[in-house]
């Protein structure tokens, strides 16, 4: 490689890092503004010019959010739904993915294609019939409605199947010869090998369930059942909105998501890469 080529490669790498730095900065600015606004009075949130570091930080906002609304109950409800839905999706998605990738049965590919095709249908297109069905079953205004509707995921099945496709079929054949059942193969071979994909699906599912707004808004009307995303609207009245408290509660609400992501981040990139390039 000539000196000119090396210099060009170095310049390209520096430019790429600069672009990535700008993109990261643009993504972090809203979070910085949220954190800054959470320490301000309501009248100072939209003041201009903006003060990123408040002259007198109002830490009282973080105390008031627990007394102005039942924030603790909302966080408990959200955590409960997120954990249950995530566990169920991991179970159902990995189980179905094993059947679609390692078992041979008539119509397997057609059934898989039809199931995955449901990803293209927006939820808004069938949320009214879905609501009518849940109401007819007596599940309206219960957490079970949210759990049943989100316990199965076509995206999760697709993600797990793509990862399972990268595991040699010979492992399953050898296990069958040794007398291991299909349930045993799934539980003792496939699941231990699929930690990256399981971690990736855990992050996606937990974040989506934690941040879900429309589902709980439709099915949950009692205050003691609401989630934190619905609870944040209680700071908005007919004539005003307490933005300082909203931002403080928003900061609190993203802490569990950050914990889950940081705990599983070492598997995240590996899971996305492996699930995406293996066919």
Which CATH number does the domain housing residue 211 bear? 1.10.3720.10
Report pLDDT for 178.
84
| Domain count for the chain | 1
111 within a domain of the structure (yes/no): yes
What was the pLDDT predicted at 270?
62
Q: Find tokens 């007819």 and name the residue.
A: 136
Name the phi and psi angles at 241, rounded to 5.
-140, 135
The predicted structure's pLDDT at residue 197 = 87
Flag whether 10 is in a domain. no
Encode the chain (279 residues) as per-residue pLDDT tens digits.
Answer: 577 777 788 888 888 999 999 999 999 998 898 998 888 888 888 877 878 888 888 899 899 999 888 999 999 999 999 999 999 999 999 999 998 988 888 888 899 998 888 888 888 888 889 899 988 998 888 999 999 989 998 999 998 998 888 888 888 888 888 888 888 888 888 888 888 889 889 999 999 999 999 889 999 988 899 999 998 888 887 677 888 899 999 999 999 998 988 888 777 666 555 544 444
For residue 49, whether the previous peptide bond is cis, meaning omega lies within 30 degrees of 0, is yes
> Quick one: pLDDT at residue 276?
46
Q: Does residue 13 fall inside a structural domain? A: no
Place of tokens 């069938």: 126
Q: Is 244 contained in some domain? A: yes
80 domain residue, yes or no: yes
Rounded Cα distance, 231 and 247, in Å:
13
Residue 12: its pLDDT value, please? 86
* Angstrom distance (rounded) from CA 169 to CA 227: 43
pTM for this structure? 0.85
Whether residue 5 lies inside any domain: the answer is: no
In a domain, 128, yes or no: yes
Give the C-alpha separation, 31 to 75, whole Å: 20
**Domain for residue 40, yes or no?**
no
Q: Which alpha helices (DSSP H) does the chain contain, by range?
A: 3-37, 60-68, 71-102, 108-117, 127-136, 143-150, 154-164, 169-177, 182-185, 191-193, 195-210, 214-219, 228-231, 243-277
202 neighbors 88 (Cβ within 8 angstroms): no
The parent domain of residue 125 ranges over: 60-277
Tokens of 145: 């409605």
């Amino acid at each position: 490689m000539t000196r000119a080529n090396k210099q060009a490669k170095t310049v390209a790498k520096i430019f790429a890092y600069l672009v990535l730095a700008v993109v990261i900065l643009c993504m972090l600015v809203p979070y910085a503004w949220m954190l800054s606004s959470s320490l301000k009075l309501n009248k100072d949130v939209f003041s201009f010019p903006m003060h990123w570091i408040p002259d007198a930080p109002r830490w009282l906002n973080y105390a008031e959010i627990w007394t102005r609304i039942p924030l603790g109950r909302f966080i408990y409800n959200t955590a409960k739904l997120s954990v249950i839905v995530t566990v169920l999706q991991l179970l159902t998605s990995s189980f179905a993915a094993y059947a679609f990738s390692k078992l041979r049965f008539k119509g397997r590919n057609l059934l898989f294609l039809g199931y995955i095709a449901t990803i293209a249908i927006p939820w808004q297109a069938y949320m009214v019939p879905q609501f009518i069905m849940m109401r007819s079953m007596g599940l309206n205004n219960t957490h079970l409605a949210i759990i049943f509707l989100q316990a199965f995921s076509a995206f999760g099945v697709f993600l797990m199947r793509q990862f399972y496709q990268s595991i040699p079929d010979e492992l399953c054949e050898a296990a069958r010869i040794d007398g291991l059942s299909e349930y045993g193969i799934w539980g003792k071979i496939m699941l231990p090998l699929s930690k990256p994909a399981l971690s990736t699906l855990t992050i996606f599912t937990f974040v989506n369930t934690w941040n879900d707004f429309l589902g709980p808004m439709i099915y949950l009307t009692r205050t003691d059942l609401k989630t934190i995303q619905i609870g944040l609207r209680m700071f908005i009245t007919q004539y005003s909105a307490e933005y300082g408290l909203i931002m403080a509660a928003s900061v609190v609400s993203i802490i569990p998501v950050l914990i889950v992501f940081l705990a599983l981040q070492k598997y995240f990139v590996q899971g996305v890469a492996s699930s995406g390039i293996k066919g």
